[in-house]
Structure 1
Amino acid sequence: MSGGQQGGDPTLPLWRAAVLLRVLTLLFALGIIARHLAEYRRPWLALVMAGVMTVWTVAVAVRYLKPTEKLLAFAVVDLAVCCAVMTSSRLVLTPLQLHGEPVPLVPTVWVTGVVAAGAVAAGPVAGGVFGGVVAAFNFGVRGYVDTDLTRDLMLLVGVGFVLGLAASSSRRSAARLATALRTEAATAERERLARSIHDSVLQVLAHVRRRGAELGGEAAALATLAGEQEVALRALVSSAPTTSESGQADLGARLKLLETGRVSVSVPATAVPLPAATAGELTSAVREALANVDRHAGAAAKAWVLLEDLGSDIVVSVRDDGVGIEPGRVAEAEREGRMGIAGSLRGRIADLGGSVTLETAPGEGVEWELRVPRSR
């Protein structure tokens, strides 16, 4: 089960209800014991079991009201205690009370509390299993099967399953709410930073770009750099969060953040959802390819990034109009231990189960095609 996370366990109300059920059923069981005490074969043992149930109810109440990740193990111990108390009925009740004129077993409905505990602790399957175990002991202690006991079986298993579904739904809803709140907070902070950056850094970069272009010379080169950073920063602060609540990321939105004055990025109009880790690796590979453009393609080279969603495959092309690569130069770089292409680019794509294709010639620029399957 989910542990005691910040903000409290979302199933705590269900645990409180389970504890309340255990207390109410204990009172009922004590009343049944008092009603039939004089009729039992071993009244003293019935009183001992009443004490055991009372002490154990206090113990489970304390434990269940402080949910942790190890609560399922405690619930299994709780199940063992309940089944042991049920089994004691064979010593407490007379044969006639067990078979001929049935009298409720010693714990009577008190044992239903453990079914609720198992369901809340570990979900619908565990709830059904706990209910089945209690019903099996009910059959075993009685020594026969009839309609009433079969009805109890269906009720115990059904209640355990339904309560487990409720607990699982509660945890999922709490997780989605927490993710939504984090996304909302991140979006609000991003908007605040965007306003601050727009009012300060972007205005300064725009001023440097204009004045540098007017002055010419070395100032013009600085103006070009300022313009590229202005474009990149505007794309960054205007972009929406790229990761959804389900852990999917829009690869197109992430690639658009790489756009600058020298880099043009084209993506589909609709989102291209991928697991966040896959989108991150692909983005890093594209960033490495663009870094190679900066290092080797020439000062005036431009680059184009094209994202295509082919359904079963995702294809990203990175092309530049630079000086190109001499034949055999890539293999030589890998032999020399330069891991930019071999490690950061080809290694990343290989880890995703994809492939990398290179097309280049001296003076003809470079084109990388990164192809990754949507699902491995």
Structure 2
Amino acid sequence: MTRDPVTPMWRATIALRVLTLSFAIATAIVQQGAYLREWLAWTVLGVMTAWTIATSVCYARERTRPPWLVVFDLVLTTSLLTLSPLILSDAQFAEDVPLITTVWGAAAPVAVGARFGAAGGVLAGLVVSVATGVARGRFDLDVARDGVLLAAAGLLVGMAATLGRRSAATLEQALRTEAATAERERLARSIHDSVLQVLARVRRRGGELGGEAAELAKMAGEQEVALRALVTTEPVKPSASGTTDLRAALQLLATPSVQVSAPAGEVELPVHVTAELVAVTREALANVEKHAGEDAKAWVLLEDLGTEIVVSVRDDGPGIAPGRLERAAEQGHLGVVESIKGRVRDLGGSAVLDTAPGSGTEWEVRVPAKARGKR
């Protein structure tokens, strides 16, 4: 099981609670005899001591830090705090004697921040400060100051906890990627020394013999390219954030007649956007194979321009005669229109076809970068 990166912060929370409990007990000893209800004061301190021991045991281990426990911690803290009017005398309130929980109540917002992040820490700090105002029967500058300090403590701890978890997740992802890359390189070396060399020899020798052997050579060449792409490209798997690498997905489409060019870095897009752009590219390549002939070459270019993603598919075929697509649409053949333009339109992008007789065909698909965040 992966160790919680915020564990040291929980240990600090435990230390804070023990330290503030000691201060609360020392304050009660000093004020002994002045409380309105002495028995209730020591009862509350007994509950605080028991809860400090319980939370110290629970917060020390990741599996015993459920969200409900942290919420109950906040509820219990504010409940004990609001018992102060039943314990302190009017003279003690007039002298601004600390409430029965004293600074022990500050540990709850810290725990909430460590568990729920900055927003939770700030909210918990405000809850404790409001409870303080209710217990004192007034909301003055001192109560406001305490509220700001409590909210700030929850904010800082929450931000640190969130940053720690994100950093740990990023590091874990980087380690997994490094391990996967090393494994692919090992497999690539092994395959290169065996399967790829055999396929390359079959391709060369079959081409020299001609006839049926040439057909086998062509198939061997296709499998060689596909296998090289498979062992050198990172598997297309959704990340924790629900994205996949479009670059890796397109590189798997490479064949002896299809060349794929892409940026060096990953092009992360939501899973459904990547799937749609790969489907569009496949459709364009299928049209090349169907209409441009077996000997036609195709080039796929992926560009990440920051504000938009561009996928271009170009071939060296005979091109499309003017009016041919329009006539096909009138006859009910809407394959190109619906499979390419329709898919891209649903993503909020555009697909432009550039073709002319004798000059090949090129599809340029543009998807706005805001598609990265769409669901």
TM-score by length of 2: 0.82
Cα distance in 2 between the residues matched to 1:330 and 1:219: 41
Match of residue 285 from structure 1: 280
Give the deviation of 1:314 after TM superposition. Answer: 3.5
Q: 1:330 to 1:233 in 2, by over 3 A?
A: farther
Out of 170, 175, 182, the residue aligned to residue 176 of structure 1 is: 170
Deviation at 1:343, TM superposition (A): 6.1
Instruction: Tell me how far 1:181 sits from its aligned partner.
Output: 1.1
Gaps of 5+ in 2: none
Aligned residue for 1:189? 183
1:230 aligns with 2:224: yes
Letter in 1 for 2:96: P
d(CA) in 1 for partners of 2:176, 2:266: 22
Task: Write the letter of the residue equivalent to 2:78.
Answer: C
Please give the secondary structure, in 2, of the residue aligned with 1:8: coil
2:23 counterpart (28, 31, 36): 28
In the alignment, residue 120 of structure 2 is paired with which amino acid? A
2:59 touches 2:65 (CA, 8 Å); kept in 1? Answer: no
1:352 corresponds to: 347
Superposed CA deviations along residues 163-183 of structure 1, whole A, max 9, x for unmatched, are: 112111111111111111111
Alignment-derived partner of residue 42 in structure 1: 37
Distance 1:69 1:220, change over 3 A: farther
Counterparts of 1:1-376 in structure 2, within 5 Å, are 6-67=1-62, 71-99=66-94, 101-144=95-138, 148-239=142-233, 251=246, 254-267=249-262, 273-275=267-269, 277=271, 278-307=273-302, 312-320=307-315, 321=317, 327=325, 328-329=327-328, 332=331, 334=333, 341=336, 344-358=339-353, 366-376=361-371
CA deviations 1:183-211 (Å, max 9, x no partner) are 11111111111112111111011110122
The one-letter code matched in structure 2 to 1:15 is W
How far did 1:113 drift? 0.9
Paired AA for residue 348 in structure 1? R
Q: Name the SS for the 2:32 alignment partner.
A: helix
| C-alpha displacement of 1:90 | 0.6
Change (3 A) 1:156 1:310: closer
CA deviation map 1:233-254 (0-9, x unaligned): 3344345788999987765565
For normalisation by structure 1, the TM-score amounts to 0.82
Partner Cα separation in structure 1 for residue 268 and residue 46 of structure 2: 58
CA distance in 2, matches of 1:199, 1:233: 13
**Alpha-carbon contact 1:29-1:110 (below 8 Å) kept:** yes
User: How far apart are 1:153 and its partner, in Å?
Assistant: 3.2
1:3 aligned partner: none
What CA distance in whole angstroms lies between the structure 1 residues aligned with 2:342 and 2:60? 50
Query: Which one-letter code corresponds to 1:53 in the other structure?
Result: M
User: For residues 259-290 of structure 1, what are the alpha-carbon distances to aligned partners after superposition, in whole Å with 9 as ceiling and x for unaligned?
Assistant: 322123455x6658452533443233212321
Between the aligned partners of 1:214 and 1:78, the Cα distance in structure 2 is: 80
Hey, what's the Cα distance between the residues in 1 that align with 2:305 and 2:77?
Answer: 58
Q: Which amino acid aligns with 1:49?
A: V
Contact 2:24–2:103 (Cα < 8 Å) also in 1: yes
- Secondary structure of the residue aligned to 1:37 is coil
Q: CA RMSD in A?
A: 3.4
In the TM superposition, what whole-angstrom CA distance separates every residue of 1:129-149 from its partner, at most 9, and x where no partner exists? 222222232233223466654
Counterpart amino acid of 2:39?
A: W
- Per the alignment, do residues 330 and 366 of structure 1 end up closer, same or farther by CA in structure 2, a change over 3 Å counting? farther
Shift in Å, 1:231: 3.2
Which string of whole-angstrom CA distances, capped at 9 and with x for unpartnered residues, describes residues 335-370 of structure 1? Answer: 7xxxx6466534432332123344567887644332
1:229 is displaced (CA, Å) by 2.8
Q: Is the 8 A contact 1:356 1:369 kept in 2?
A: yes
* 1:117 Cα offset (Å): 0.8
What per-residue deviation string (whole Å, max 9, x for no partner) do you get for residues 32-64 of structure 1?
323323221111111221222223323433443
The count of residues paired between Structure 1 and Structure 2 equals 365
Q: 1:59 to 1:333 in 2, by over 3 A?
A: farther
CA distance in 2, matches of 1:42, 1:235: 79
Residues 374 and 329 of structure 1: CA distance in aligned 2, closer, same or farther (over 3 Å): same
Most deviating of 11-20 and 298-307: 298-307
